[in-house]
Chains A and B, each alone.
Chain A
């Protein structure tokens, strides 16, 4: 078995140590720093992009919230506006209604007064007319002039 030939051991160990050390120094000073730098750069780039994306998402969410707030405020404003104008209109209507009713009832009252006065006057005239008629009838029947009132 060639593996047990001790005369080759020194040479194999010698070259093993040489090669191992050479590889160790090549890797630790040339190859590995390059790879780790690239990996680090990539990690940083990805992280930066993810941060940027999340920033944009936050901004978008803020905008959405702002938009919703504006919308809600506009809705409320409209509602208030509607309420105030509705109450103003109804107040106006009530006022005008009252005005008209007042005017109407005034006129009614006046008319009633006129009617009453006429009736009273008519009643008074009726008395004097009846007296005249009675005097006339008496004059015709008796030929005597009627007794003057208070006479």
Chain B
């Protein structure tokens, strides 16, 4: 049976080195670039012949736009408008990465912990940066919950700091684990299908359902990542 983790292997396509650090263009990079291009084509192409009454493609583009815009409006409010391109980039990049990964023979770059961690650090870092830019040192009051008794503060503040710092970890592990588990499961059932011969119909049926489920997970995880980023942004803008 084929190794279900084989699909996560990284191959160098164009070896590159910068200052002794390996920055080769790999299959992972290829699909990142594909995600960027596909997103651009999807968004710009849909608006090519922009009309007052949209067609199908334009509708899809606009629905995606308003979906993320509403998400941001509901969690952060009007002050969050200026960060919309950032939130939208996060959403589209993860969504495209997840959805491209659902095609056979492709590589899912969101199934690598380092990529999701990088994304989480970008989201977390930008949110923290905005918090400090808006509130300065006052931003530290985020770690002091309102209405907490003073004698509890020595306990509460470290917990708050810890939970704050663990945000990028939980954010990245959630996406990575979901994508990796789903793709591994698909591969395992595909292996069963091949191994069982005629009886492989049963795991094939399961795989069909799993594929549908994985597409749902792909969209859902992009949504979850985005809404959590919005919530962190809301913390940094409004301080609770």
Contacts and interface: CB of A to CB of B under 8 A. Distances in A.
A36 B85 CA distance: 11
A17 B36 CA distance: 12
A34 B25 contact: no
Contacts of B33: 15, 19
Contacts of B18: 14
23 contacts: A2-B10, A3-B176, A8-B114, A11-B26, A12-B10, A12-B114, A12-B115, A12-B118, A16-B109, A16-B119, A20-B119, A20-B122, A23-B35, A23-B39, A23-B93, A24-B85, A26-B40, A27-B43, A27-B92, A32-B65, A35-B65, A39-B65, A45-B52
Interface string A53-64: 000000000000
Contacts of A11: 10, 16, 22-26, 28-29
B62 A39 contact: yes
Interface string A1-31: 1111101111111111101101110111011
A34 B35 contact: no
Contacts of A9: 114
Interface of A: 1-5, 7-17, 19-20, 22-24, 26-28, 30-32, 34-36, 38-39, 41-42, 45
B75 interface: no
Contacts of B47: 31, 34-35, 38
B66 A39 contact: yes
Contact of B23 (A14, A19, A24, A45): A14
A14 B22 CA distance: 9
A127 to B, nearest CB: 127
Interface string B197-208: 000000000000
Interface string B1-34: 0000100111000001010011111101100110
Contacts of A27: 39-40, 43, 85, 88-89, 92
B28 A12 contact: yes
Q: Bin chain B's interface residue count.
A: 35 or more
Nearest to B21: A10
B112 interface: yes
Contacts of B89: 20, 23-24, 27-28
B52 A15 contact: no
Contacts of B9: 2
Contacts of A2: 5, 8-10, 112
A106 to B, nearest CB: 95
Contacts of A1: 5, 8
A3 B8 contact: yes
B111 interface: yes
Contacts of B40: 23, 26-27, 30-31
Nearest to B33: A19
B137 to A, nearest CB: 29
Contact of B112 (A7, A12, A30): A12
Contacts of A16: 32, 109, 115, 118-119
A20 B97 CA distance: 12
